[in-house]
Amino acid sequence: MKTIQKIIGILINFAGLFSKETAARMAMYLFTTPRSGQINEKQSDFLDTSLQEEIMVENIPVMTYRWFGKGETILLAHGWESNSARWQYLIDPLLKLNFNIIALDAPAHGRSGSKRFNAVLYGEFIKVVSKKHKADFLIGHSVGGMASVFSQNNSEYRDISKIILLGAPAEFTDVLDRYYKMMCFSKRTIKAINQLIKDRLQAGPESFSTAKYLECLTIDGLIIHDEKDGIIPYQDALILNMSLRNSKLVTTTGFGHSLIDESISNHIYEFLKS
């Protein structure tokens, strides 16, 4: 796989010798197009136990799932190449604690629309769904955690009191840098990609910082990260914990990036109930 990625990167660099704009579009297409994340039959059976509702955000259909409880409302945001079914391990126990639970599928994932994904758009999805369902707590995994933080930026809805970030990245620039290195992009290609991002999002990559956004929040936070996470470095968790004033860091070992384990779930229950 790494060899194939490098070959693709070399081909994109070669295309950039003739048109850096074309190279940037090719690179961003790969970066924003998930290869998986659609719902299989087993996942569908679980999701069909919920009340499903499709809402529109920026003319894009967003699929939401609701499991009813009489308690406070939790909104769940999955990560890259996943979907709302990844929360099954957490939803069943939370229902027993009588929480009201909402989950949503990200752009280009699950049953939501769009052919491309980015965390800023995902943040808008979360912002609208949070307000609609009057969420009290946010739980986000990986880039779903990043998007959950983005959703709080300039949001009219101010009733989120707690946020839980599972294996979340601290800086968008770091995510990009890892992609650039993996693909062996040239400096010319990288410069063109950064300019394309600026043109599309009206801000440079450095503007989309989970850590900086957290500095502006006064909500309580729980950050859970595995020290051997092979996708998002553990250092990111230390940065996030420093950025959010009212936060607690839980370090795990052996659960990788997915962070699916009963012990992790227990940390989440305790934090939500405190």
The mean pLDDT value of the chain amounts to: 96
Work out whether strand 100-104 and strand 73-77 pair parallel, antiparallel, or are unpaired: parallel
**Domain spans in the chain, listed from the N-terminal domain onward:** 1-32+172-208, 46-170+210-274
Q: What is the pLDDT of residues 110-164, one digit of tens each?
A: 999 999 999 999 999 999 999 999 999 999 999 999 999 999 988 888 899 999 9
Q: How many residues does the chain have?
A: 274
Q: What would the DSSP string read from start to end of the chain? A: -HHHHHHHHHHHHHHHTT-HHHHHHHHHHHHH--S-----HHHHHHHTTSEEEEEEETTEEEEEEEE--SS-EEEEE--TT--GGGGHHHHHHHHHTT-EEEEEPPTTSTT---S---HHHHHHHHHHHHHHHT-SEEEEETHHHHHHHHTTTT-S-----EEEEES--SBHHHHHHHHHHHHT--HHHHHHHHHHHHHHHSS-GGG-BHHHHHTT--SEEEEEEETT-SSS-HHHHHHHHHHSTTEEEEEESS-TTT---HHHHHHHHHHHH-
Q: What is the pLDDT of residue 155?
A: 84
Q: What is the pLDDT of residues 168-194, one digit of tens each?
A: 999 999 999 999 999 999 999 999 999
In CATH, what number does 46-170+210-274 get? 3.40.50.1820
- Taking alpha carbons only, the member of 91, 89, 142 closest to residue 119 is 142
Q: What is the pLDDT of residues 5-38, one digit of tens each?
A: 889 999 999 999 999 999 999 999 999 999 988 9
Is 260's pLDDT higher than 80?
yes
Classify 151 in phi/psi space as left (phi over 0), alpha (psi -120 to 50) or beta. alpha
- Taking alpha carbons only, the member of 109, 80, 118 closest to residue 201 is 118
Is 1's pLDDT higher than 70?
no
Q: What is the pLDDT of residues 49-61, one digit of tens each?
A: 999 999 999 999 9
84's tokens: 């709302």
The answer to whether the CB of 104 falls within 8 A of the CB of 130 is: no
